């Protein structure tokens, strides 16, 4: 992976172009609050969303998907069960799973569900806020509702260690995003604080990661078949970093035009749709930590 912003921007633009060229299907078992937004984000960046949660069909649906996003933001037992069924099938097929531990740390039920997903599935990516990842990793952090009240002390260390332990790429998003495959740690400095005034902006970034990670399956980053272990190689680390950089950049572009969270949300979709090589190469900001 490149070490200058310019090189990174070029690679990130490549990934986005692959998403648009291949239109991967992103199967999302997600929460009621953000479903519409994450579906619209998925379309805006050129991928295809499908929301399906019935135990009767999730294994079939994930078979057609390029990635599976699991987001238990409004969890209940039937939905958790569906996530596990879909996840097991995804693991069999080599479909990468992106997990968003929404609100883990806030209630015992969310903690147990997060731990169970971690234990029973091989995850390709885990993304959350500092409090959620801290709670998932047993590294501290405080969550109230779905908000990170106080984050982990050393996010770079926490993502690296949780990645090394789980085999997933782990991302803590916030003012700076921290991403690790267990060895390298990247920081992304894109984004805008207006994102905190709109619900689901974290969930949207997870959906974006889903679309981007679907492309690295064919790029040598993630094994495409069988039950063999899938290691988070550079191709997928780059895909995750690219997703977060492009997403944060769209947030910056949107914020420059917005007059509040209502117009920001609208501008964000327009900005995602309009992202291009030029704006990404100029705007993506990555650091190797």
| Interaction site with a second copy (CB under 8 A) | 25, 27, 31-37, 39-40, 42-44, 48-54, 56-57, 60-61, 64-65, 73-78, 103, 106-110, 144-147, 196-200, 258-263, 265-274
Nearest to 157 by CA among 122, 133, 175, 132: 133
Query: Of 84 and 179, which CB lies nearer to a second copy in the complex structure?
Result: 84
- Partners of 128 in beta bridges: 172
Cα–Cα distance measured from residue 259 to residue 253, given in angstroms and rounded to the nearest whole number: 13
Tell me how far, at minimum, the Cβ of 126 lies from a second copy, in Å: 21
CA 238 – CA 247 distance, rounded (Å): 14
For a second copy, the closer of residues 235 and 248 by Cβ is: 248
The CB-of-89 to a second copy minimum distance in angstroms stands at 12
Q: Provide the minimum distance between the beta carbon of 84 and a second copy in the complex, in angstroms, as a whole number.
A: 16
Q: Minimum distance from CB of 42 to a second copy (Å)? A: 8
Q: Given the complex with a second copy, which of 145 and 225 has the nearer CB atom?
A: 145
Pick between residue 110 and residue 192 the one whose CB is nearest to a second copy: 110
In the complex with a second copy, the residue whose CB is nearer, 216 or 258, is 258
Q: Give me the least distance between CB of 55 and a second copy, in Å please.
A: 8
Compare residues 93 and 162 and give the one whose CB is closer to a second copy. 93
CB of 163 to a second copy, least distance (A): 28
Residue number, 85 or 162, with CB nearest to a second copy: 85
CB of residue 165 to a second copy, shortest distance in Å: 26
Q: What DSSP string runs through the chain? A: --SSHHHHHHHHHHHHHHHHHH--EEEEE--TTTHHHHHHHHHHTT-EEEE---TTTHHHHHHT-SEEEE--TT--HHHHHHHHHHHHHHHHHT--EEE--TTBTTBHHHHHHHHHHHHHS--SEEEE-HHHHHHHHTS--EEETTEEEE--S-HHHHHHHHHHHHSSEEEE-SSSEEEESSS-EEEE----GGGGGSTTHHHHHHHHHHHHHHHHGGGTSS--SSSS-----HHHHHHHHHHHHHHHHHHHHHHHH-SSHHHHHHHHHHHHHH--HHHHHHH--EEE-
Which residue, 59 or 164, is less far from a second copy as judged by CB? 59
Least CB distance from residue 58 to a second copy, whole Å?
Answer: 9
Contacts of 119 (CB under 8 A, 6+ apart): none
């Amino acid at each position: 992976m490149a070490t200058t912003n310019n090189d990174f921007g070029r690679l990130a633009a490549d990934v986005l172009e692959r998403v648009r060229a291949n239109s991967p299907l992103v199967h999302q078992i997600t929460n009621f609050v953000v479903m519409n937004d994450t579906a619209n984000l998925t379309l805006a960046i050129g991928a295809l969303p499908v929301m399906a949660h019935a135990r009767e069909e999730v294994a079939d649906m994930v078979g057609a998907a390029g990635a599976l996003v699991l987001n238990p933001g409004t969890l209940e037992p039937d939905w958790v069960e569906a996530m596990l069924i879909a996840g097991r099938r995804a693991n069999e097929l080599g479909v990468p799973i992106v997990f968003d531990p929404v609100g883990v740390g806030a209630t015992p039920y969310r903690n147990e569900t997060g731990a169970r997903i971690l234990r029973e599935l091989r995850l390709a990516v885990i993304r959350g806020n500092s409090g959620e990842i801290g709670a998932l990793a047993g590294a501290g952090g405080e969550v109230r509702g779905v908000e990170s009240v106080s984050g982990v002390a050393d996010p770079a260390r926490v993502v690296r260690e949780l990645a090394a332990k789980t085999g997933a790429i782990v991302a803590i998003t916030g003012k700076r995003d921290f991403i690790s495959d267990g060895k390298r740690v990247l920081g992304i400095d894109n984004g805008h604080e207006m994102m905190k005034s709109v619900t689901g902006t974290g969930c949207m970034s997870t959906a974006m990661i889903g679309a981007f990670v679907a492309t690295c399956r064919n790029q040598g980053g993630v094994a495409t078949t069988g039950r063999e272990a899938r290691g988070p190689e550079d191709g997928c680390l780059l895909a995750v970093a690219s997703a977060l950089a492009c997403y944060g950049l769209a947030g910056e572009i949107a914020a420059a035009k917005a007059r509040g969270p209502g117009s920001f949300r609208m501008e964000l979709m327009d900005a995602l749709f309009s992202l291009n090589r030029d704006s990404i190469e100029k705007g993506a900001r990555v650091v190797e930590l």
